[in-house]
A and B are shown apart, each in its own frame.
Chain A
Amino acid sequence: MTPEPGKIALTEMRDGQEATVAEITGGAGLADRLTSMGIRPGKRITRFCSMYLHGPVTVRVDNIQMALGRGIANKIMVIPDGSGNENPACR
């Protein structure tokens, strides 16, 4: 699966892929919380891994590792770098 250029949701990224946060959709409340925890437009984000059965997605921003529920991850739109699969082994 090659990612299309342009915005995709964090849940659509591959494990190990890097991207730049473009936008946080959904309410201002969520955007505020994510911003204060370190995820905001313009930040570099790496999708690290995701848990089976639609479990949380783990990401890394700077030195911060965070776990986000699927619904939240779906609201984070990113522009992926394209290739670059540093960490394909998420099993």
Chain B
Amino acid sequence: MKILLAGNPGAGKSVLFSRLTGSNVISSNYPGTSVGYTTGHMMVGDSKADVIDVPGIYSLENHGKASDVALRMLESGDIIVNVINATNLERDLYLTLELLEKKIPLLVALNVWDDAQHRGISIDIKKLAEMLGIPVFPTVATTAEGIKELVESIPRAVVTGAAPRSREERWARIGDIISQVQQVTHRHHTFGETLADATVKPIPGTVIAVLVALGVFLLVRYLGDALYEFVLDPIFQVLWRPVVTRISELLGSSGLLHDLLIGRPLNGQIDFLQSWGLLTTALYVPFALVLPYIITFYFALGLLEDTGYLPRLAVMLDTVMHRFGMHGYAIIPTILGFGCNVPAVLATRSLESRKERFIAITLISIAVPCASLQALILGLVGRNGIQYVAIVYGTLLIVWVVIGLILNLSIKGFTPELLIEIPPYRLMPWRLTFEKLWLRVRGFIIEAVPIMIIAIPVINILNMIGVFEAVSSFTAPVVSGLLGLPQNAIAAIFVALFRMDAAMALLAPLGLTAKQLVVSSVVMVMFFPCIATLTIILREMGLRNLLKSLGIMIVSALIVGSLVNLLPI
């Protein structure tokens, strides 16, 4: 049996989906979170059913990518759970009436029920169910209120056999229903709403945006530093060091197996960053150096997503973003890119025109460092002082602006205008915020650790047989001549292709100066994206566009790298 969750964007389908299936999907407080679709399972009575989270649509008639996908999925469903946002009953009922005309069993989850009550909206549920001819259940997906009743009643979904109506007839019917089931008590603006409104007014909005950006950076940096210094590094130094030292002794402190597992000691001591063993560097880099910033970044991102601040930022930045050939909504994938470029590229699906997508994707992979790279920048470059970190980010911002301006002028195509719904601010239960954080952190661990475990011995072997040396003499004119880096830094730039964070471990032992670290960070961010991002760009944009994008990355990385090398820092 196939159960489909269908509804307007922002009706809370994704949260309801995780309530029904117990599997976690990333939900956010802005329209269009589920660009693809997600499947899960649940038990209905004694049988197992597939549950599908259909992308949010306002109507079945709009011909866009999302509604085409949704329409095709709806045809294949056995039961449709129509998720309605109770605070927007009138608008959401349009889709409901359209769904009633499909000959598929239907029932309604009247979601966000708590908020409707706070807003003074009262809905006569019995009357609504009667007029629609299908069961209606009030639910609050965020707190699981009403979910049990909904699940138990799924088999009672009904085909009404409603005759197809014209558009005008549907709106007339909705007017009729609303006048009989809904009553709205007028209510004054609360302080919270006044504050919420301020975030989309020009001047207070700008001040708030700057404060939010600063707050996020400080939170990520200092909370990340604290996690490293007081939790994760001590775990390795105090608990793990005795274990690997013992293993090292058992292996006789030398030999191939020893060097693969433990690596080469530095001054007689195991060095977690530079020894290059499977049990040392391959674990220390992802778990101690990168993980803290992954946790703090996704925590901050989760707060921004769940509260509903991001679409407001999109409105604030719309005018600016149009200079770069994108509308304001493109800021959301860009911000996601600071975590990982892969979901960021996927999130550009919500942008309508090809031009806009190409620009957004190219800018993300050129100038937006993912969390692993940022861990490298904060960790290695930051040791020499915060001003060098500022130079790296400042350079990337300039690159983003300049390349954005050039791409906008040189690429044909159009940039559609902004047309978005701004969801009300909302406080998510902490449990959901942390569940989402855990989902993302787990994703990082599942993805990063196996690659590190493969990459470290491979790099080790390549190093032993002298591949990097051969390559480095070949690339020396560029690496040393233009960029002012030692020849062997090429190994790090090459490794960055596979895992940005493994590159960090290669750079650390080279004893680079502050300026060389700045140059290599900037080049690594701008040069090739990692393999995972490359694959996604290929899938989303095709080979031609990928090659174009890569050309821009390589050329601009070399130009900017050389320019930074000329700076008197």
Contacts and interface: CB of A to CB of B under 8 A. Distances in A.
Interface string A62-85: 111111111110000000000000
Given A56-B318, A67-B318, A69-B418, A36 B200 contact: no
A68 B88 contact: no
B34 interface: no
A63 B87 CA distance: 7
8 closest pairs, A vs B, by CB?
A69-B417, A36-B58, A36-B59, A55-B319, A65-B422, A67-B315, A38-B91, A69-B418
Given A33-B419, A36-B62, A91-B202, 4 more contacts: A33-B58, A36-B59, A38-B91, A49-B197
B88 A64 contact: yes
A37 B202 CA distance: 24
B203 interface: yes
B152 interface: no
B498 interface: no
B204 interface: yes
Contacts of B420: 66-67
A40 interface: yes
Contacts of A56: 315, 318-319, 328, 418
Nearest to B415: A69
B423 to A, nearest CB: 8
Interface string B482-522: 00000000000000000000000000000000000000000
12 contacts: A33-B62, A36-B62, A37-B58, A51-B200, A53-B319, A54-B319, A58-B315, A63-B121, A65-B424, A66-B421, A87-B197, A91-B203
B354 interface: no
A42 to B, nearest CB: 9
Interface of B: 58-59, 61-62, 87-88, 90-91, 94, 119, 121, 167, 171, 197, 200-204, 311, 314-316, 318-319, 327-328, 417-422, 424
Contact of A69 (B87, B204, B419): B419
B422 A66 contact: yes
A32 interface: yes
Contact of B94 (A36, A55, A63): A36
Interface string A13-57: 000000000000000000011111110100000001101111110
A34 B58 CA distance: 10
B384 to A, nearest CB: 39
A91 B201 contact: yes
A1 interface: no
B417 A68 contact: yes
A72 B419 contact: yes
B327 A69 contact: yes
A70 to B, nearest CB: 7
Contacts of A71: 417
Nearest to A52: B202
B201 A63 contact: no
B417 A49 contact: no
Given A53-B319, A56-B328, A69-B327, A90 B422 contact: no
A47 B350 CA distance: 26
Contact of A62 (B88, B328, B419): B88
A64 B197 CA distance: 13
A48 B197 contact: yes
A63 B311 CA distance: 16
